[in-house]
Chains A and B, each alone.
Chain A
Amino acid sequence: DQQVKQNSPSLSVQEGRISILNCDYTNSMFDYFLWYKKYPAEGPTFLISISSIKDKNEDGRFTVFLNKSAKHLSLHIVPSQPGDSAVYFCVALKDEKLTFGTGTRLTIIP
């Protein structure tokens, strides 16, 4: 069973606009949620995280929102830049194990 779901396999956004990536989860026991970014031929790299007791965390152009009642989180990137083009994984953490979603390929159009 897929405990972390990313229902949009791909997303295209104009440079300078806001990118919104969505994620749903089923297990309410997760402690942290993270977003990882992955470029081709590289391992995933950490982007931003949020504790399950928070509802928002911001770091520069990146903001993650957590809605626990809906078991939903989202990543906002504003303004979007060409270097943001990558695959983004929504990830949940429990007992040191990361559970990944299937990823969303974000393409920023110049």
Chain B
Amino acid sequence: DTGVSQNPRHKITKRGQNVTFRCDPISEHNRLYWYRQTLGQGPEFLTYFQNEAQLEKSRLLSDRFSAERPKGSFSTLEIQRTEQGDSAMYLCASSPRVHEGDEQFFGPGTRLTVL
């Protein structure tokens, strides 16, 4: 296990379709985070998990977004009824959270394009 992996790397969809992304964190990292990055901006926090529990959701995460981490390992992020404004890079990160300030390890991201 060499790092955080995300699938797919690219997704093109039509407006109104549902999409699902997967994130596999580094083994034994109990924290998993989702961020979204739009053009010209830094990543923005969406939500995070401690094991299977979703502990916080940003106001950026509308009702069309849902994230799960059913067994405390991989996570999925689903967007229902996609809109053009959902086009962005979706980044996943994981952390062991042994010490406060432990770094978060990022995956390569899934680039979503909504036509």
A→B interface (CB under 8 Å)? 4, 31-32, 34, 36, 41-46, 49, 51, 89, 91, 93, 95-103
Asked if A101 and B107 sit within 8 Å, CB to CB, the answer is no
Asked if A43 and B91 sit within 8 Å, CB to CB, the answer is yes
Q: Tell whether A51 pairs with B103 under 8 Å between CB atoms, given A42-B108, A100-B43.
A: no
Q: Tell whether A99 pairs with B45 under 8 Å between CB atoms, given A41-B108, A42-B108.
A: yes
Asked if B35 and A98 sit within 8 Å, CB to CB, the answer is yes
Residues of B close to A44: CB separation below 8 A: 43, 91, 106
Residues of B close to A99: CB separation below 8 A: 45
- Tell me the complex Cα distance, A98–B107, Å: 15
Task: Give 13 CB contacts A-B under 8 Å.
Answer: A31-B101, A41-B108, A43-B91, A43-B106, A45-B106, A46-B104, A46-B105, A96-B33, A96-B48, A98-B33, A98-B43, A100-B42, A103-B42
Q: Mark B38-72, 1 if CB is under 8 A from A, else 0.
A: 00111111001000000110000000000000000
Asked if A97 and B106 sit within 8 Å, CB to CB, the answer is no
Asked if A43 and B107 sit within 8 Å, CB to CB, the answer is yes
